[in-house]
Structure formats: structure tokens, C-alpha cells
Amino acid sequence: MLNPIEKLTVIDGETLQDMRFQPGKFTIDTLLPQGISMLGGAPKNGKSWMVLDWCVRIAKGEPVWNLPVKQGSILYLCLEDPLRRVQDRLLQLTDEAPPNAFFATAAEKLGQGLREQIQEFVREHPDTVLVTIDTFQIIRSGGQDISYASDYSEVRELKKLADELQISILLVHHLRKQGASDPLNKLSGTTGISGAMDAVFILDRGQRSEDAATLVCTGRDIETRKLDLRFSKSDCSWELVQDSLENRALEMPEELTALVEFMRSAQTFSGSNTQLADTVGKLAGKEIAPKSLKQMMNRWRYVLEEKGVFLRSHRSNGQRLVTVSFSSAPPDSDGSAASDATLSSAVFTVPRDPDKTEPPVFSKENVRPA
């Protein structure tokens, strides 16, 4: 007798769009996300120097290329090198190796105990934030199957482990001998490897004798960027020369700046997306489409919350409404602002004219207490 098919668990788009999730977590802010990542590069081009420097800085809590890190214990599986070589590199990188940086030169393979070894290490060191495996090829199962499905499955196994432990796992991997215009296609193996990654970094040094290199970064939860680097022979570390994101406008849009200023005065707004867009547009001195404003608010939601502005979408009498509140307290689990007790007693609603089908423009001058 066949087992009954389990019914799909589904969620409608409207509910999903309004759900509040925790923002993505990073071990290196905006660069190395929690989950599974890969650093690819040609042999002997400085990959191991880079990941060792990252490991030391993360364990110490020092920034990586001016990017803040989440400090914690790290495990570096340096599987191509003896401890003597790792020690030599450490001595050149730092004058004080952190006690919460741990190293191993041997480990089991995938499907043969590696997962359990990493789990045990994290149990013994619950503040672990990063496990680096140098190189990925050494811990692979070693079967004859070199298909897309096999590559994808192996990476997914490590991805599940990283998500379970809520850590970053960084794999070091080699590139193909033949070049490719797309950096992701340079990784050795099928596209199943890059397809399963949360982030991929390609270190392109050009001529091995050159000190300059480019690190191409892309992924699901990071912005695509190029970092121009220079290898410092004095301390054997990669120094940042230029970041392609540095000159990009990362400030909150002026429409949302106007929204924040308005909410500091009004404290609470409840109305339609169109009414809110009219209000913010008048204060910003420009016309704003309701859809564009809603998308901006969703994209910058966590930044708005840091500034005390909390938003919640809901329906009332079949009408789609948005409630925006100003408060210094964190939002409740449903994504709304904190309880009314934490808000100002002044609550404002949109004044309605029963003779007009279109709602009036909402501004500081025409609000009234509810």
C-alpha cells in the first residue's frame, strides 16, 4: 500500500510579502554571509594567505578591509599543509595568534564523518562563527560520479550543516585550467558547485609574479562587487586598494528620509499606500508612486527600524492598509511596532471627505487626533 502523499505547505504572496524575517547574518559584514561560500583561485596564487588572514582577524574581532566582523572561534581545516607550514604563515601574518583560532591538518571526508567532526567541534566551542576547508577537493567523497547532481548534492550537504549550526563554512577550491569570461565558470567542476553556493569569490591574480589581484564577489545575499587588492610582502596579507561598492550610493533614499522625519512628528499613520505616498511625496517635494514607496519601505525595512520607524500591512473591510509607527522599542513578532504603551498618545488618522472618492493629501497641517 502506497503511503499517502503529504499535502504541500503553501503561503500566499500577500502574506509572504508582509512577513517579518531576521535580516541576513554575516561573519564579514556585506561580504561573507552565514551559510556556504567558496573562494576559488589558481594554485599558489595566495588563496590560503587570504583565508588565514580572515580567520585570524575574525577570531580577534578585527575588521577585514574596513568591514566589521562577527567575532568568535574559527576552525581552519588546512588539509594541504603540515602544521609547520601553518605555523610559519601565522608568524608572518601576526605577532599574536588568537587562542580561539583552531587548526587541523586532517579530517574525514563528506559522508564518512566530516559532518559529525564539525558538529562536535561546534558543541565544544559554541561561539564558533567560521569553518574554513582548504581545499574542498580533499574532503569530497571521491566517487566516480562527476555530474552536476553529484556536485550540487555535496555542496548542499555542507550548506545544510552551516544553516543548522548557524555559521559560515568557507570552501577553498581550484579553478579550471582553461579560462572563461564568466568568473563562476572558472571553478573546477560543474556549475552544480557554484549553483549551490550562498557566495562565491574568485581571486584572479593575472601573472603570478604580480602583487596585484582582483577578487570578484557574487552571491544570493551579497551585492556583486570587485575588490582590487595588493599583496603585501612585509606581512603576507592582501591589502584593499579599491572596492567597487565604495562609490555606490548606499544612503537611504530621500523619500524614506522624509518618511522618518514625518513619523517623528506624527508618531503613527494608518491609511492606504496611496495616502502614504501622497503624504511622503508632499514632504519630499516630488511625486511618488505608491508601489515604488512600498517597495522602498520593504527593501529598507530594517534600516527604518533602526531609526525607530516600524511598518505593518493589513486589511480592514476589504481595503489594503499600511500602519506606520514611530517608537524606540523593537517590533512585536507580527512585524508591527511595539505596544501602544510605548508610543506617544497622539495617534493620527487620515481625514476623509465623504463627498470625494479620492483621499485628501495627508500632511502635518491637516491631521487630527483619532
Q: Do 218 and 298 lie in a common domain?
A: no
Q: Do 160 and 55 lie in a common domain?
A: yes
Measured CA to CA, the distance from residue 38 to residue 217 in angstroms comes to 10
Could you tell me if residue 249 is inside a domain?
A: no
Mean of the per-residue pLDDT values for the chain? 82
Percent of the chain with pLDDT strictly greater than 70: 81
Q: Do 95 and 227 lie in a common domain?
A: yes
Measured CA to CA, the distance from residue 93 to residue 79 in angstroms comes to 19
Question: What pLDDT does residue 345 have?
Answer: 31
Could you tell me if residue 5 is inside a domain?
A: no
Could you tell me if residue 8 is inside a domain?
A: no
Q: Do 206 and 270 lie in a common domain?
A: no
What nine digits make up the cell of 121?
A: 567541534
pLDDT band at 181 (very low <50, low <70, confident <90, very high): low
Q: Do 275 and 134 lie in a common domain?
A: no
333 pLDDT more than 70: no
DSSP per position, 183-244: GGGGBSS-HHHHHT-SEEEEEE-SSTT-SEEEEEEEESSS--EEEEEEEETTTTEEEEEEET
Residue at which a domain ends, from 214, 243, 272: 243
Could you tell me if residue 4 is inside a domain?
A: no
33 pLDDT more than 80: yes
Q: Do 190 and 61 lie in a common domain?
A: yes
What CATH number has the domain bearing residue 36? 3.40.50.300
Could you tell me if residue 6 is inside a domain?
A: no
Residue at which a domain ends, from 223, 243, 263: 243
Residue bearing the bigger pLDDT, 293 or 188: 293
Contacts (Cβ under 8 Å, ≥6 apart) of 333: 20
Torsion region of 256: left, alpha or beta (phi above 0 gives left; psi -120 to 50 gives alpha): alpha
Query: Where is mean pLDDT largest: 115-124, 196-205, 318-327?
Result: 115-124
Q: Do 182 and 326 lie in a common domain?
A: no
What nine digits make up the cell of 302?
A: 530594517
Q: Do 148 and 263 lie in a common domain?
A: no
Residue at which a domain ends, from 243, 265, 284: 243
Q: Do 155 and 205 lie in a common domain?
A: yes
Range with lowest mean pLDDT among 24-38, 124-138, 247-261, 280-294: 247-261
Measured CA to CA, the distance from residue 360 to residue 283 in angstroms comes to 14
Q: Do 236 and 273 lie in a common domain?
A: no
Rg (CA), the chain: 26
Could you tell me if residue 118 is inside a domain?
A: yes
Note down the domain range covering 338.
254-369
Q: Do 89 and 166 lie in a common domain?
A: yes
> pTM of the predicted model, to two decimals?
0.70
Range with lowest mean pLDDT among 4-18, 48-62, 341-355: 341-355
Q: Do 218 and 285 lie in a common domain?
A: no
338 pLDDT more than 50: no
The total number of structural domains in the chain stands at: 2
Q: Assign 339 to helix, strand or coil.
A: coil
Question: What pLDDT does residue 314 have?
Answer: 78
- B/e letters for 290-329, b = 16+ CB within 10 Å, e = fewer, are beebbebbeebbeebbebebbbbbeeeeeeebbbbbbbee
pLDDT per residue as tens digits for the range 200-239: 999 988 665 578 999 999 998 898 999 999 999 888 999 9
